[in-house]
Amino acid sequence: MYKITTRSKKAEKQFRDFLDDKIAKKLELLKQNPRTNLGAHKLKGSLKDFWSCWFGSDLRMMYKIDDKNKEIIIFSVGSHKIYL
């Protein structure tokens, strides 16, 4: 199972601002398989090194996967504007 982590204060704040019981349950699914659960998909273009998943409504999370350390590294959480 993967663990959730951030590498910046901005990402940590975004993550904490949106975290609730519903999101926490969905994160448990993502930690099991960060490449397929929650509609996870690899991004393209200038964001090709990132993955994204959907938490419902207009809430997305952009992250990288570190298989060696079994980490999901959060870079941004929010609406589709996080990709800009």
Strand spans (E) along 7-57: 41-42, 51-56
Fold of 3-83: YaeB-like fold (3.30.2310)
Q: Residue 83: which pLDDT band, with cuts at 50, 70 and 90?
A: low
- At 18, which helix (H) or strand (E)? helix 9-18
With 0-12 / 13-18 / 19 or more C-beta atoms within 10 angstroms meaning exposed / middle / buried, residue 61 is buried
Q: What is the pLDDT of residues 36-67, one digit of tens each?
A: 998 999 999 999 999 999 888 788 899 999 99
Predicted confidence at residue 65, as pLDDT, reads 98
- At 65, which helix (H) or strand (E)? strand 59-66
Q: What is the pLDDT of residues 61-75, one digit of tens each?
A: 999 999 999 999 999
CA dihedral 80, 11, 6, 21 (to 10 degrees): -70
DSSP 45: G
Predicted confidence at residue 55, as pLDDT, reads 85
Stated pTM of the model: 0.87
